[in-house]
């Protein structure tokens, strides 16, 4: 399927946005590390990063990327623009490998390739976007019961995460802060889409800023972006970049596409839906492969213990008497190739073999290890 002129512009803007945003994650992370060494960390409520020039460099890069992303929504549907955000994960992973010493192994490279393949699949089977002739038309769509219900649910879930879960679990569970960013982000994207359409129509000679709704959308975007920035900083400060990026991408994309489908009521054929689902699933698999194997030494993990003197150090079980529970249930420390330790209670020693090694190699970043990287 050939892309229309507008869709081609949207895709080009989305790709450039991913480059700037992916770079910003790494630059901001570096700035947060420097600021954390001289003041209170962002993860525990500090704001010393605000006087760190490197953090502001990353922030400027993110702003440029968001501006390009904002413009992309004016030319292409959200179901195309949003999944292309996966490319920012690739940029982050590559830069983190060289600048933050966060290893990118062969499986991480495979994950990057899957993200690219999935993105291309979605772009080539993108639906035609309905023609919008006025910002008021978008506002009327937003006032429909379906989208109003989504908005109320998203705001309620966000407030629950901020005031109930964040104080208790924010520093130990990555899904709290990332969930806040994703829910708020889905609302900001819809407002950005409306503003992008307003700007596009205004440049074409139909001034949309004579309507008060344009300024309501601008206010919503400002509030949402400030909220996202605050909680994304907390997530980046507390957790590894290679974990934050893919999880944020998947959650943000799911919520944004859901909001877009409800708002614009896009009509697609079953073939398009199936192809886009396959493309998105490919991207999800790629992002989690990139995440799950980040700290995995592939060569050591597949080497049987004791063979040729090679230790099983990619994710080796070490008996830990401190978490011994019963005579049948033993506690283990899982130590990755970078020396990070996570405790896990298992019933007996892991079964020897490749399948067991793969299981334990893939589990820690998501379930077993609490990352306190600085």
Q: Can you tell me the distance from the alpha carbon of 114 to that of 360, in angstroms, rounded to the nearest whole number?
A: 22
- Report pLDDT for 315: 41
| Tens of pLDDT, residues 231-277 | 988 888 888 766 787 788 778 888 888 888 888 876 677 887 888 88
Closest residue by Cα to residue 286 from 160, 142, 122: 122
| Residues in the chain where the model's pLDDT stays below 50 | 306-338, 340-374
| Tens of pLDDT, residues 46-90 | 777 787 888 889 889 988 998 888 888 888 887 788 888 778 878
Q: Is 320 helix (H, G, I), strand (E, B) or coil?
A: coil
Closest residue by Cα to residue 290 from 233, 255, 241: 241
In sequence order, which residues have a C-beta less than 8 Å from that of residue 113 and are 6 or more positions away? 286
- Report pLDDT for 143: 92
Q: Beta 330-336 vs 315-319: how paired, if at all?
A: antiparallel
pTM for the whole structure: 0.64
């Amino acid at each position: 399927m050939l892309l229309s002129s507008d869709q081609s512009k949207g895709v080009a803007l989305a790709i450039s946005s991913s480059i700037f945003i992916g770079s910003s994650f790494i630059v901001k992370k570096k700035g947060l590390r420097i600021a954390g060494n001289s003041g209170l960390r962002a993860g525990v409520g500090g704001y010393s990063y605000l006087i760190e020039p490197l953090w502001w460099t990353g922030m400027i890069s993110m702003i440029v990327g968001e501006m390009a992303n904002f413009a992309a929504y004016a030319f292409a549907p959200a179901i195309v623009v949003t999944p292309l955000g996966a490319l920012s994960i690739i940029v982050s992973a590559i830069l983190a490998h060289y600048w933050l010493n966060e290893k990118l192994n062969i499986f991480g490279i495979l994950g990057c390739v899957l993200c690219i393949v999935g993105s291309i699949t979605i772009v080539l089977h993108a639906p035609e976007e309905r023609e919008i002739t006025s910002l008021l038309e978008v506002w009327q769509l937003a006032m429909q019961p379906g989208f109003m219900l989504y908005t109320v649910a998203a705001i309620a879930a966000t407030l629950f995460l901020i005031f109930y879960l964040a104080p208790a679990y924010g520093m130990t569970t990555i899904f709290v802060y990332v969930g806040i960013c994703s829910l708020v982000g889905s609302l900001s994207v819809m407002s950005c889409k409306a503003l992008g359409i307003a700007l596009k129509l205004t440049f074409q000679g139909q001034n949309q800023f004579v309507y008060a709704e344009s300024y309501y959308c601008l206010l919503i975007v400002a509030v949402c972006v400030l909220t996202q920035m605050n909680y994304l900083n907390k997530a980046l400060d507390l957790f590894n970049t290679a974990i934050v990026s893919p999880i944020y991408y998947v959650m943000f994309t799911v919520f944004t596409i859901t909001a877009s489908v409800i708002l614009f009521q896009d009509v697609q054929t079953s073939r398009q839906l199936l192809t886009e689902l396959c493309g998105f699933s490919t991207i999800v698999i790629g992002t989690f492969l990139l995440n799950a194997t980040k700290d995995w030494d592939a060569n050591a993990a597949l080497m049987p213990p004791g063979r040729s003197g090679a230790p099983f150090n990619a994710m080796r079980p070490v008996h830990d008497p401190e978490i011994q529970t019963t005579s049948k249930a033993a506690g283990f420390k899982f130590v990755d190739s970078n020396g990070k330790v996570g405790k896990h209670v298992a019933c007996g020693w892991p079964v020897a073999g490749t399948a067991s090694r793969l299981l334990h190699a893939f589990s820690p970043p998501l379930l077993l290890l609490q990352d306190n990287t600085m």
